[in-house]
């Protein structure tokens, strides 16, 4: 019966996900703040079973359930034994005032699953959620716990080509463009500078058009810090199926860099092997894609495989 269930609750169909569904706040409640979040896990999870825990953060202007479908690792919770918490920032922009809420969710999962059962804890964040992850791994609470960070177009620990102007034009335009941050939140924060003090595995995923159609640089200061070998190109990932979601508010006019409709595609995978202590550093570039097309199933699974392959 457990394995017969196709999808977890509040899951989009294969196309045309309703707006009311992607704005759902979740079915779990963080008791100290009363704020909702999503918690996905194997339906047959047993007490004491080893799992990988992921805290997945949406980008600015987005929602937790949009993030669940942009990076749909919930589809692989059963196969790869994942526990995924996907929270919401009510003003749709993450700020330091949300840190306690996020810490409470992490503590709740550790208490419910069991500290010894969590073999690795990853942060995953799209766009401003990735920038927030970069800030969180520099705080005492997360620095002591995080084993890996997956940046989904949320900044690379190393050089990247300049973001093309069309990206920012799309952010500012569109028929139903999202309004700015809520009062008291201020402008979007800039990315932290320099490398974090903590040591963790790191995967950077981005769209080719976000890089201005330039190749991602070979250089990785993070790989150097972890003592990894020179970068190797792994086999491409070829998807014949599109992702679930896209940004419907900025398609009139659209932008290649910001992202268009979801569609199949190919992703290039680069890895820096033989890092110290079994850590992992990798870059994944989705060819012909921008910032907001939902990730396709096979590239999503490839990212999961990379995450669970890294040693703690």
- 146/198 Cα distance (integer angstroms): 9
Overall pTM > 0.85: yes
Helices (H), 126-282: 128-136, 140-143, 165-172, 221-225
How does pLDDT run across 103-137, given as a tens digit for each residue? 999 999 999 999 999 999 999 999 999 999 999 99
Determine phi and psi for 117, rounding to 5 degrees.
-85, -15
Q: Residue 185: its pLDDT value, please?
A: 37
pLDDT category, 16, cuts 50, 70, 90? confident
The DSSP symbol for 92 reads S
CA distances from 236 to 8, 150, 178, 265, 272 (A): 29, 19, 35, 10, 16
Q: What angle do CA 3, 74, 55 make, to 5 degrees?
A: 135
Pairing of strands 82-87, 118-126: unpaired
**Radius of gyration of the chain from its Cα atoms, rounded to whole angstroms:** 18
Q: Which CATH class is domain 23-309?
A: alpha beta
Q: What is the mean pLDDT of residues 207-221?
A: 96
163-179 pLDDT, tens digit per residue, is 998 888 776 655 444 44
Per-residue pLDDT at 255 exceeds 70 = yes
Which pLDDT does position 227 carry in this prediction? 98
Find the mean pLDDT for residues 53-57.
Answer: 98
Q: Where are the domains of the chain?
A: 23-309
Of 14, 9, 4, 290, nearest in space to 126 by CA = 290
E-assigned strands of 153-243? 201-207, 232-239
């Amino acid at each position: 019966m457990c394995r017969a269930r196709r999808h977890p609750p509040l899951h989009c169909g294969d196309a045309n996900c309703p707006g009311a569904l992607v704005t759902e706040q979740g079915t779990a409640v963080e008791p100290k703040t009363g704020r909702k979040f999503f918690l996905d896990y194997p339906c047959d999870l047993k007490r004491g079973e080893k799992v990988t825990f992921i805290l997945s953060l949406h980008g600015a202007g987005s929602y937790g359930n949009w993030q669940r479908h942009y990076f749909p690792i919930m589809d692989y919770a059963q196969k790869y034994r994942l526990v995924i918490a996907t929270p919401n920032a009510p003003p749709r922009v993450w700020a330091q005032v949300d840190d306690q809420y996020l810490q409470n969710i992490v503590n709740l999962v550790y208490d419910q699953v069991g500290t010894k059962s969590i073999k690795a804890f990853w942060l995953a964040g799209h766009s401003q959620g990735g920038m927030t992850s970069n800030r969180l791994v520099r705080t005492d609470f997360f620095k002591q716990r995080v084993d890996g960070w997956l940046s989904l177009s949320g900044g690379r620990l190393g050089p990247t080509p300049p973001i093309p102007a069309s990206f920012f034009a799309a952010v500012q335009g569109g028929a139903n463009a999202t309004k700015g941050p809520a009062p008291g939140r201020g402008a979007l924060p800039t990315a932290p500078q320099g490398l974090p003090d903590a040591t963790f595995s790191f995967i950077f995923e981005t769209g080719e058009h976000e890089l201005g159609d330039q190749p991602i640089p070979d250089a990785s200061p993070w790989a150097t810090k972890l003592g990894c070998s020179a970068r190797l190109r792994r086999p491409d990932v070829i998807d014949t199926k599109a992702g679930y979601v896209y940004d419907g508010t900025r398609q009139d006019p659209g932008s290649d860099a910001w992202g268009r409709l979801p569609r199949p595609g190919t992703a290039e995978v680069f890895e820096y092997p033989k890092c110290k202590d079994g850590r992992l550093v990798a870059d994944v570039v989705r060819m012909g894609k921008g910032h907001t097309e939902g990730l396709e199933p096979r590239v999503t699974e490839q990212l999961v495989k990379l995450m669970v392959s890294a040693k703690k």
